[in-house]
């Protein structure tokens, strides 16, 4: 089968995308597929040249992508594996383009991808469907111009610490764990540099867990023990900065409840194929769901491959299952 792997992109998660794509391409080649990797910020004429990606390439990234997807090298492919993380690769825009071009691809469709990337809409859907999520408040850029009022609203709603994060980013990009009032204003300001909306969220003291999905079913729950106080970007992507328990050591009923609620969230957000949802389990064994990732990473430290392996599914077979799910979607 001819497979195109889209990689790189111009989001804040570009480097993670490049690492994921390398693993994905190697796995499909092992399975006997013909694979072409395409860095979406490069013009098609430079795809096979070993050139240095420049800031200009990054700025032109979205324009190049549209042209790239209409090129015959993509048109003749049997399947497109979207290994872009964050930005337009994960928020539904690439999925919508692939749909319009009638190309088969991995993971959720454009609607689900857009919903999952928007933490505000995701949390509203969690609440509407009885899925526990930490208490929260959000502000847009215009509202934060009156910083004193924003800080006062946060102080009146929450006890510190709190989590401050952009509403439309992944991989904990722009996330801040705020333990004192003096750091709050700066955390809100820095999160807004990534997004025009910022979420301030109740911090749940407890255990860091995640649930992956494959072929529309939950995988074993993973417990994450980061070296930092929270599971931040460095702990996610730096070897040795986190340890993992797969499957997590949980009471049977707690494990069942987490898997059932995770599946409920997956359905509420209309996900398909594969995904991953993060949560916190408080000291009373109450789970609080944070956000859904519709294009989980496939790097050496990524969580869905770890969960799949615990279920007896090796990396190459995981990728093959994702491929078959994408090929069978109507």
- State the catalytic residues: 13, 171, 237, 276, 278, 291, 293, 297
Q: What is the largest CA-CA distance in the chain?
A: 60
Q: Are 277 and 291 in contact (CB under 8 A)?
A: yes
**Tokens representing 314?**
């090796």
Nearest-5° Cα angle at 43, 13 to 73: 100
- Alpha-carbon gap, residue 202 to 280, rounded angstroms: 11
- Summary count for the chain: helices (H), strands (E): 14, 13
**Alpha-helical segments (H) within the chain:** 14-30, 55-59, 61-69, 72-75, 87-90, 93-100, 110-117, 119-128, 147-157, 181-192, 233-237, 252-268, 303-310, 315-328
């Amino acid at each position: 089968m001819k497979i195109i792997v889209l990689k790189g992109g111009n989001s804040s998660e570009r480097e993670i995308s490049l690492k994921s794509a390398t693993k994905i391409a190697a796995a499909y080649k092992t399975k006997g597929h013909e694979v072409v990797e395409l860095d979406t910020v490069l013009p098609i004429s430079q795809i096979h040249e070993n050139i240095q990606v420049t800031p200009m390439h990054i700025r032109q990234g979205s324009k190049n992508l549209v042209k790239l997807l209409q090129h015959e090298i993509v048109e003749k492919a049997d399947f497109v594996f979207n290994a872009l993380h964050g930005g337009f690769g994960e928020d539904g825009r690439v999925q919508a383009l692939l749909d319009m071009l009638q190309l088969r691809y991995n993971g959720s469709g454009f609607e689900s991808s857009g919903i999952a990337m928007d933490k505000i809409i995701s949390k509203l859907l969690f609440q509407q469907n009885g899925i526990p999520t930490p208490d929260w408040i959000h502000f847009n850029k215009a509202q934060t111009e009156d910083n004193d009022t924003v800080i006062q609203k946060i102080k009146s709603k929450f006890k510190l610490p709190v989590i401050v994060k952009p509403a439309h980013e992944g991989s904990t990009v722009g996330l801040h764990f705020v333990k004192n009032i003096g750091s709050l204003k700066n955390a809100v300001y820095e999160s807004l540099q990534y997004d025009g909306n910022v979420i301030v969220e109740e911090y749940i003291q407890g255990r860091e867990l995640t649930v992956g999905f494959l072929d529309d079913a939950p995988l074993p729950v993973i417990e994450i023990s980061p070296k930092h106080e929270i599971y931040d970007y460095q702990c996610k992507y730096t070897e040795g900065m986190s340890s993992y328990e797969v499957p997590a050591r949980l009471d049977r009923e707690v494990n069942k409840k987490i898997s059932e609620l995770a599946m409920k969230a997956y359905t509420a957000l209309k996900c398909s194929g594969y995904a991953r949802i993060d949560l916190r389990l408080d000291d009373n064994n109450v789970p609080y769901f944070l956000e859904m990732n519709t294009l989980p990473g496939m790097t050496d430290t990524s969580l869905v491959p770890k969960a799949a392996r615990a279920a007896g599914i090796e990396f190459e077979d995981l990728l093959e299952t994702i491929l078959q799910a994408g090929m069978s979607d109507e």
